[in-house]
Amino acid sequence: MNKYELVVVLPGKSTPAKQKSVTEKIKKYMEMFKGKLESVEELGKIDLSYKIKGNESGIFLLFNVELEAIDVKKFDIKLRSEDEIIRHLLIRK
């Protein structure tokens, strides 16, 4: 298994309940792909340089995960299908 960092950007107006919902979905995806969610860190609300889907600010969440290389593409497709996530970035450590 490879270690990855996943940064997820939610709209700046997202509630704590919405943040928890997204975190739970990512945990569910990790279980689906037999990966491990090592840690979750909220980086806070940050003003964006430019509007993304009409949002001027975003709430950034950092996830440290372990995932098989073969499942990365499938995981990325699942993240793209989530309406609550306006951007994400998955990089290998």
18-51 per-position pLDDT tens digit? 999 999 999 999 999 999 999 999 999 999 999 9
Asked whether the predicted pLDDT for residue 63 surpasses 90, the reply is yes
Residue percentage of the chain with pLDDT more than 70 = 100
pLDDT band, residue 87 (cuts 50/70/90): very high
pLDDT band, residue 1 (cuts 50/70/90): confident
Q: At 38, list the tokens.
A: 């090592």
Query: Using CA atoms, how far apart are residues 30 and 54, in angstroms rounded to an integer?
Result: 29
* CATH architecture for the domain at 2-92: 2-Layer Sandwich (3.30)
Domain borders along the chain are: 2-92
